[in-house]
Amino acid sequence: QQKVQQSPESLIVPEGGMASLNCTSSDRNVDYFWWYRQHSGKSPKMLMSIFSNGEKEEGRFTVHLNKASLHTSLHIRDSQPSDSALYLCAASKAEGADRLTFGKGTQLIIQP
């Protein structure tokens, strides 16, 4: 059973639109969440991390975290074709935060 579940599996968003990706952990011991982005044929790169309840914004990207439900979401506004990629959510405990458990990812396609 996948401990980090992401939805949807794939998402098509028109250029300039808002993309919303979801991630939930079934392991109640996790404390931190991470979002990585992986373009086709490339390696994952960290996009954002969130450790506390609430919201964090960096440019066009906003991450929310609800620790009670162990749910995080990533929102991309004004989506660009270059945002087309596999988005990976990962979770870890505070003690041993280097041990990430990744979800299967959401494949995001931005349609020009």
Partner 1 sequence: DMKVTQMPRYLIKRMGENVLLECGQDMSHETMYWYRQDPGLGLQLIYISYDVDSNSEGDIPKGYRVSRKKREHFSLILDSAKTNQTSVYFCASSLFRQYEQYFGPGTRLTVL
Among residue numbers 31 through 60, which ones bind partner 1 (CB under 8 A)? Answer: 32, 42-46, 49
Q: Applying CB under 8 A, which of residues 31, 61, 75, 102 lies at the interface with partner 1?
A: 102
DSSP code per residue over 6-40: EE-SEEEEETTS-EEEEEEES-TT--EEEEEEE-T
Whole-number minimum distance, CB 108 to partner 1, in Å?
15
Q: Does 87 bind partner 1 (CB under 8 A)?
A: no
Q: What are phi and psi of 45, to 5 degrees?
A: -130, 135
Residues that bind partner 1 (CB under 8 A): 2, 4, 32, 42-46, 49, 88, 90, 92, 97-105
